Amino acid sequence: MEIISGLPRHVACVMDGNGRWAAQRSLPRTAGHEAAEAAVIDAIEAARSAGIKWLSLYAFSTENWRRPAGEVDILMRLVRRTIRKHAPALHARGVRCRFLGMADPRIPPLLAQDITDLMTLTSDNRQMTLTIAFDHGGRRDIVEAARSLIRAAVPAEQVTEATFARHLPYSDTPDVDLVIRTSGEQRISNFMLWQVAYAEWVFPQVLWPDFRATHLWECLDAYRRRQRRFGDVRQPAATTGEKLR
């Protein structure tokens, strides 16, 4: 494994453009979702090979339930097929798989069981943590954290950013350093709102089904060339090293 200095610890991807990819080819939208599988696997392997320890992929939002029922049904089938197909390889590569969301009763029971089985299978892996945001909404996570604090009867004066974060789902997840949103769209889309507060954003024009390892390396290189000040005015030490492949 080649680990490059100055890389983000946590990369998140908003996988956008499946429908447009299909429309450009006069295909149904679902063809774009099918084609996205190769991009997902390529991104996971490229991130793992680079030494990225945390990768989060936005697969299905709470708002996506508004899509036509037929499209949602096919999406659920595709996710189940992808899990069953790639679970052994993910486990063999030391990838710990988590699913962020999973609260809606409309999720098919067989898919929910496959997801549970995948998380159980890979729970002890530590080479990389892959979080799939599925039936996910950033606002819902924040509301649920607030409810958790109330149920725990935490006094108001003891509620800090740190204590609040501990009540979020998967509270051990580090803040996102880099968000990649494909297709050129520039929206947050209710994605991990708490965790992306100080993330760097990159908006490659490529549609998600065409996203490959070379695109990920380009985004990582763009990240390394930025200066992250977190509100400070001081110049941090410059990142050194050659351009990524």
What CATH number does the domain containing 90 carry? 3.40.1180.10
Domain with 219 in it: 10-225
Among 124, 118, 140, 128, residue whose Cα is nearest residue 50: 128
State the Cα–Cα distance between residues 193 and 187, nearest whole angstrom. 12
Residue in the structure block whose two tokens are 């492949």 = 245
The distance in angstroms from the start CA to the end CA of the chain is: 14
Please indicate, yes or no, if residue 233 is contained in any of the structural domains: no
Residue 159 falls within a domain, yes or no?
yes
239 located within any domain? no
Annotated catalytic residue, options 42, 64, 175, 190: 64
Identify whether 2 is part of a domain.
no
- DSSP helix/strand/coil, 183: helix
- When the pLDDT of each residue in the chain is averaged and rounded to a whole number, the result is 94
Residue 31 and residue 234: Cα distance in Å, rounded?
48
Listed as own residue / partner, the contacts of 204-207 with beta carbons closer than 8 Å and 24 or more positions apart are: 204/180, 206/17, 206/182, 207/16, 207/17, 207/18, 207/20, 207/21, 207/24, 207/32, 207/182, 207/183
Residue 19 lies in a domain: yes
Catalytic residue among 16, 141, 177, 221: 16
* Strand residues in 77-167 grouped as ranges (E): 95-101, 128-136
Q: Which two tokens stand for residue 122?
A: 């890979």
Number of domains in the chain: 1
* 157 labelled ligand-binding: no
Mean pLDDT (whole number) for 154-179 = 97
Query: Is 178 within the bounds of a domain?
Result: yes
Question: Does 91 appear as a known binding residue?
Answer: no
pLDDT digits (tens, 9 = 90+) for 35-63: 999 999 999 999 999 999 999 999 999 99
Consult the annotation and say whether 181 binds a ligand. yes
Please indicate if the annotation marks 67 as binding a ligand.
yes
pLDDT tens digits for 58-101?
Answer: 999 999 999 999 999 999 999 999 999 999 999 999 999 999 99
Tell whether residue 48 is among the known ligand binding residues. no
Question: Does the annotation flag 148 for ligand binding?
Answer: no
Is residue 236 situated within a structural domain?
no
64 is catalytic: yes
pLDDT digits (tens, 9 = 90+) for 198-219: 999 999 999 999 999 999 999 9
- Strand-pair partners of 97: 130
Task: List the structure tokens of 239.
Answer: 């990142």
User: Which residues pair with residue 96 across a beta bridge?
Assistant: 129
